[in-house]
Structure 1
Amino acid sequence: MLFDRYRYVVVEGPIGVGKTSLARRLAEHYEATALLEKPEENPFLARFYENPARHALSTQLFFLFQRINEVRDLAQMDLFRASTVADYLFDKDVLFARLNLSDDEFALYQNIYHNLAPQVPAPDLVIYLQASPEALVERVHKRATPYERQIADSYLTRLAQAYSDFFYHYDTAPVFIVNSENLNFVDSDEDFAFLLQRIEGMRGQREFFSRGA
């Protein structure tokens, strides 16, 4: 069983890759606590996509405090003794900050981040979902939430590369890397079961999983 080995599992990846859908299904399958991002609560997000330069810092800081409060509350209540699946990794907040903030804003952000980060427990396992920029663009356009319609294709490309760079160096927890382009974890029980089998058989600190078209 997955949660016999990993009590705190994080599903990560760029916008449109399916991390929230997979996190929800994992939590339901294993009767675990789901810790999900709430972008709809960020009052600056829609304005960020309209005018990134003006609203990047306020958007980033809102997400930073939102995430630290959720993760810290769980840690204080000792709920990580139970099984928990999250659709965000606290450490990746810096990825978005570096991508979106000016140098002065990023310096301010880093001061705040480094004061908060020690309060965050490390996950036991990170499932990192990958997809090509072209696939991400197609998926984002297909689901078309109101604020996401304004996301530039070039931004999704830069974001996918930023994630790749981030996880190339990430070593805080074991990472199971999944090429998700030819897998449907939500609608295909076979794909979901195959993924679970591969994760439960993981033995090293970093493994890669893919399936051909």
Structure 2
Amino acid sequence: MDLTTCKYIAVEGPIGVGKTTLTKRLAATLGARPVLELPTENPFLEKFYRDAARYALPTQMHFLFQRMEQLQPLNRDERGEARFVADFVLEKDALFAQLTLADEELKLYQQLYAHLRPQVRQPDLLIYLQASPSTLLQRIAQRGIAMEGAISADYLQRLCDSYSNFFYHYEGAPLLTVNTEHLNLAEGDSDFSTLLSHIAALRGKRAYLNQGD
């Protein structure tokens, strides 16, 4: 895959896996505009971590509309002159909804999501970052964001399972799955170069970068 032809790259994976850091580094390397999630602007998120059942729906609805707004510039760039690297895809919103919403709330959300989803373009490349729940817990603790202190190992396990299932069936764009357990994509120049080499070698719809490759 020729990176110079990728106008829209997305980086995905569970919380703590390093999406935002890699997104910023890719954007800087490629001269692209980073499109970053804004969790601190969601007024319900901290409440959700304390009482998920009560605040799951407003948290999810806020994220859905926020992400839709953030992705609109990609749709308006009809001539493909700009380049973007995002640390999310809209599909993640539906994934989290299935994980957190009760039956009737989920039905309501899915109706709205089905109406909005066709308005968002698919990326030219999607990079899916993986790590074990124990590694994610360590990384979350290291960055020290107070409201993330309530995140449990059980929640992270269910989240990782949901991501694995989603990407097992994903066909929306060429997909590079990256095991980050022993890769330092934030600061390691060699590891970052390895990632770029795997992207350049990508042929077809799927490829994998595992530890030790």
TM value normalised by structure 1: 0.96
Aligned residues: percent identity? 48
Other-structure match for 1:73: 73
What amino acid maps onto 2:3 in structure 1?
A: F
Aligned counterparts of 2:13 and 2:158: Cα–Cα separation in 1: 13
Between the two proteins, the alignment pairs up a number of residues equal to 213
Other-structure match for 2:209: 209
2:14–2:159: 8 Å Cα contact kept in structure 1?
yes
What amino acid maps onto 2:206 in structure 1?
A: R
SS in 2 for 1:97: helix
* Alignment map for 1:65-104 (pairs within 5 Å): 65-78=65-78, 80-104=80-104
1:88-120 CA-partner distances (Å, limit 9, x unpaired): 011121100000000000000001101101100
SS in 2 for 1:122: coil
Other-structure match for 2:193: 193
1:16-57 CA-partner distances (Å, limit 9, x unpaired): 100110000000111101000000100000000000000000
Query: What RMSD over aligned residues (CA atoms) do the two structures have, in Å?
Result: 1.5
User: 1:144 deviation in Å?
Assistant: 2.0
* Alignment map for 1:1-213 (pairs within 5 Å): 2-78=2-78, 80-212=80-212
2:74–2:84: 8 Å Cα contact kept in structure 1?
no
Aligned counterparts of 2:56 and 2:87: Cα–Cα separation in 1: 21
Runs of 4 or more consecutive aligned structure 1 residues displaced over 3 Å after TM superposition:
77-81
1:3–1:83: 8 Å Cα contact kept in structure 2?
no
2:3–2:200: 8 Å Cα contact kept in structure 1?
no
Aligned counterparts of 2:100 and 2:122: Cα–Cα separation in 1: 25
Q: Which runs of 5+ in 1 are unaligned?
A: none
What amino acid maps onto 2:113 in structure 1?
A: Y
Aligned counterparts of 2:92 and 2:81: Cα–Cα separation in 1: 23
1:159-181 CA-partner distances (Å, limit 9, x unpaired): 01100000001101110000011
TM value normalised by structure 2: 0.96
Aligned counterparts of 2:201 and 2:3: Cα–Cα separation in 1: 13
